[in-house]
Amino acid sequence: MTVEQFSLLWQCFAQRVRQNQGHLDDLDRAIGDGDHGTNLTRGLGNVETLWNQSPDQNLNLQALSKKVGMTLLSTVGGASGALWGSGLMKAAQVFPASSECDDETFVLWMDAFVGNIEERGKAHVGDKTMVDVMRPAVNWLKAIPQDRSLRARLHELQELVQQYSQGTKDLQARRGRASYLGARSIGHVDPGAFSSALWWECLDSVLGG
Amino acid sequence: MIGILLVSHSKRLAEGLAELIQALAGNTLTVGTVGGQETLGVDATMVVSEFEQLKAQGCEAILVFGDLGSAFIAAETARDLFVDAGDIRVADAPFVEGSVAAAMVLATGGRIDDAIASAQEAYQIHKC
């Protein structure tokens, strides 16, 4: 992972979320307050400007992870902002303070990123949240033999990520606002899981393409 | 001095509760409020600013109460971000009953641990 790829990842994610904003709002309207797409689009729009206007182009991976995290934390709002934001800020220490890292370090960064999200949100796999996509995806990457390139592994992972995301449809929410709905939360894909799947799609297009 | 911080999706909800607390437990307590105004919702940076204000008012310790899920995520993230935090505790307790119970304990000279215990007991109180 290089600084350039990391920046492309977030720019891709901003674009994919913007394209899916209406759908994400609709998913959230079914089991929440209907603003997941709008909030994430706003926050990621601010992340995009980090590269558009900043003269400070020479940030290293560690600093970038913190900066993107702080931006999401303060501009997305709600649980998503704090989860994406503090996940990135805390995982930053896994990155070296340099312009690139090897694949193994990047997998460790992802593991820390998702670990922080789980810890902050106190969510586990099966609770119908973003963790239902994030955790199994990282675990799959860790379990597949490291002699296969990260690029190939990420590419193969895409189909599974779709299944993880769609799999939240049959779950009953145990965390977040949707949990107040009890069994009525069943039958809708979780918006946080859906947007998380877009992130993995971007990772594949940036690193696997 | 121990301050209370009420973190809500709505600033007006937090302010109403602050008013109630000061009416019931006495206005010697320092009670801060944070919450959305034009748009509902709260994020960690808003909570950090309020921590700073309470600290500037002389609070060495802050006891935080939240209304719903993401208010707690914001509060705990803010506590981690605010490095020079002093003693900040996020109470796992009902927003109204818990904060009022804690305020009564603090207003009568109780320690922060007693206030938290009393706030948590509020989960057991049946209203009718």
Widest CA span in chain B: 43
Q: Tell me if residue A124 falls in helix, strand or coil.
A: coil
Answer yes or no: are the C-beta atoms of B34 and B46 closer than 8 Å.
yes
**pLDDT, tens digit, 9 for 90 and up, residues A188-200:** 999 999 999 999 9
A82–B70 C-beta distance less than 8 A: yes
Burial A29-42 (b: 16+ CB within 10 A, else e): ebbbeebbbbbbbb
Average pLDDT of span A55-80: 88
Q: Using DSSP, how many helices (H) and how many strands (E) does chain B show? A: 5, 4
Beta bridge partners of B64: B5, B90
Between these two residues, A156 and A177, which has the higher pLDDT value?
Answer: A156
B126 assigned to active site: no
What is the per-residue pLDDT for A32?
A: 84
The answer to whether residue A174 scores a pLDDT higher than 70 is yes
Q: What contacts A70, CB < 8 A, 6 or more positions away?
A: A85, A89
A85–B73 C-beta distance less than 8 A: no
A209 pLDDT tier (thresholds 50, 70, 90):
low
The answer to whether residue A57 scores a pLDDT higher than 70 is no
Active-site residue, selected from the candidate residues B8, B9, B18, B99: B9
What domains appear along chain B, each with residue ranges and CATH number?
Answer: 2-123 (3.40.50.510)
**pLDDT, tens digit, 9 for 90 and up, residues B25-70:** 987 899 999 999 988 889 999 999 999 999 999 999 999 999 998 9
| Nearest beta carbon to residue A86 from set B42, B70, B80 | B80
Q: What is the pTM of this model?
A: 0.90
What is the per-residue pLDDT for A56?
A: 62
Average pLDDT of span A64-84: 93
What domains appear along chain A, each with residue ranges and CATH number?
Answer: 3-208 (1.25.40.340)
Q: What is the ipTM of this complex?
A: 0.81
* Chain A residue numbers touching B81 (CB-CB < 8 A): 86, 89
* Chain B residue numbers touching A82 (CB-CB < 8 A): 43-44, 70, 73-74, 77
